Homo-oligomer: A and B are copies of this chain.
């Protein structure tokens, strides 16, 4: 089983190193190969997703990804900025199904902005479509406005698009995920305004008929943004498009108060996947040895489960993470009085010891 290891920028290299340590400790037959991505790749070779990195990713069963980005690349032209590497990998590998769990760990409930009773035991799975919508829709660009309020003025535009089969396939992913959980799916749309999301709602309703054991409801995106704050535990599986999913999955992660704990997976139809922490590259704390490696370690567990068919090993990692939390070990981002503050490497070592 081949794994492409793409550490990236900021804290990426540090946290990925700990996840690799954990994978090594499992003594599975894994072949890991690293390559630069993001700002690091731009520095090395002038492009955030160099051809060699893309080829390595394509030839692998899974990608273990750190994080990309740094303020210092903000002035580069868009095509050369670090985040283009993520968009490029999603597109080239067809990684259409993004799994973003928002879980509130018992030991970390107090870290949430929300009152403990609203988040204790929270366990939402947001499934975001990742290769369609306004992210990739053509045409897009700048032009002289052909009509509208200011015809002839300088205008920028993008196209939001979804086809029926794109909606169907992410719908099946969501309903099948719900069958393994509480059998409820909330599909988030804006069908009252957007043609794209009227089709989305229509198709989700149709796909839902093939899963009579799963209860489907529909919610407008503005209402979903509110209900996540008001009563997050009403949600179980949430499925939505690329743009709304970007916003809602980040909102939901932050509700837990411990985004440093949250993994993610992005899969294609061959179960090839990219696995990365939900948090970013945090350039402000890079190199200080204080970053939380647990989201990346848990992403490696998702990788073993979804792309490598190693359910037992995945559970082993997850149990080890639970154990280090129970032991009271905390990186600074999740530290609270009465617990033991540890650094990135110590946390990785503790997970290895707990395996």
Q: A: which residues have CB within 8 A of B?
A: 78, 81, 83, 87, 94, 113-115, 118, 131-132, 134-138, 140-142, 145, 147-150, 153-166, 190, 192-200, 221-223, 225-230, 243-244, 246-251, 253-255, 259
Contacts and interface: CB of A to CB of B under 8 A. Distances in A.
B150 A166 contact: yes
Contacts of A140: 194-195
Nearest to A69: B192
Copies of this chain, count: 2
Given A155-B161, A225-B251, A229-B251, 7 more contacts: A131-B149, A134-B193, A145-B163, A157-B160, A157-B195, A225-B250, A247-B247
B156 A162 contact: yes
A226 B199 contact: no
Contact of A225 (B118, B164, B165, B225): B225
A181 B247 CA distance: 28
Contacts of A164: 150, 153-155
B162 A155 contact: yes
B230 A247 contact: no
30 contacts: A83-B192, A83-B193, A113-B115, A114-B229, A115-B115, A131-B149, A137-B148, A137-B157, A142-B199, A145-B163, A149-B163, A154-B163, A154-B199, A155-B161, A155-B163, A156-B161, A156-B200, A157-B162, A158-B196, A159-B160, A190-B246, A222-B246, A222-B247, A222-B250, A225-B250, A226-B251, A226-B253, A229-B229, A229-B254, A229-B255
Contacts of A87: 193
Contact of A221 (B141, B246, B259): B246
A153 B165 contact: yes
Nearest to A218: B74
A319 to B, nearest CB: 29
A247 B229 contact: no
Contacts of A162: 155-157
A246 to B, nearest CB: 5
Contacts of A137: 148, 157
A193 B133 CA distance: 11
A350 to B, nearest CB: 27
A149 B197 CA distance: 18
A159 B157 contact: yes
B254 A156 contact: no
B156 A159 contact: no
A311 to B, nearest CB: 30
A312 to B, nearest CB: 34
A199 B113 contact: no
A306 to B, nearest CB: 21
A41 to B, nearest CB: 17
Nearest to A199: B156
Contacts of A166: 149-150, 153
A236 to B, nearest CB: 19
Nearest to A140: B195
A246 B115 CA distance: 25
Contacts of A148: 132, 136-138, 161, 163
A198 B197 CA distance: 24
Nearest to A81: B192
A247 B253 CA distance: 16
A134 B200 CA distance: 16
A250 B223 contact: yes
